[in-house]
Amino acid sequence: MKKVIMPIAAVLIIIQFFRPQKNISAQVQANAIERHYTVPQHVSTLLKTACYDCHSNNTSYPWYNNMQPIAWWLSSHVNEGKEELNFDEFNLYTVEKKKKKLHEIAKTVKEGEMPLSSYTLVHTNAKLSKPQQDEISEWASSLEKEIR
C-alpha cells in the first residue's frame, strides 16, 4: 500500500508548484460591452454575478482554486468560456458575431442553460430567477436588433 500512496502523495505535492495564470484585470477593458453599448445597471449586475467569472477578463476565484489539479480545471473552464464569449472583448467582434452572441445569450439564458448548473451549485448567488432570465434575454434581444 505504501508503494502506491507515497508516489501519489509526492505527485500531488509537486503539482502544487505549477500554477496557471489567473484571469484578473483590475479595470474595465477598452472593448468591454458596457463601453460601447447601453447595459442597464440591473442587467450589468446580473451579468457580473452570473456570467463574468467565465466570460470576461476578470474572474473572482474561490478558495479551492489554490489546489492543483482543481486550478488547472478552473483555468481551462474559464479559457473555454472566454473563447465562446468575452464581454470584455465584445467590441472586437464583427457585427455579425455580435448579433450571433447576443442571440445566443438571449436563448441560453432564457432556456436556463446558462449559467451552468455546475457553476451555480457552488455559486448560489449566480442562479437566475425566471424574471432575471427574462430581463437578460430581453436586453440581449433588444441590443441584437439595435446593432448595425
Written as nine digits, the cell of 128 is 437566475
Give the domain extent around 64.
2-146
**Which helix (H) or strand (E) is 113 found in, with range?**
none
Helix, strand, coil percentages, rounded to 5, for the chain: 70, 0, 30
pTM: 0.83
How big is the chain by its Cα radius of gyration, in Å? 18
Instruction: Give the total residue count for the chain.
Output: 148
Are 59 and 24 a contacting pair, CB within 8 Å? yes
Kindly give the confidence (pLDDT) of every residue in the chain, 148 residues in length, as a single tens digit, with 9 standing for 90 and above: 888 888 888 877 777 787 878 878 877 789 999 999 999 999 999 999 999 999 999 988 788 777 888 888 888 888 999 999 999 999 999 999 999 999 999 999 999 999 989 889 888 999 999 999 999 999 999 999 999 8
Rounded to 5°, the CA angle 71-72-76 comes to 115
Nearest to 116 by CA among 51, 60, 48, 52: 51
C-alpha cell read off for 82: 472566454
Domain count, the chain: 1
For residue 102, CA distances in Å to 84, 93, 107 come to 12, 11, 9
Nearest of 24, 81, 33, 34 to residue 57 by alpha carbon: 24
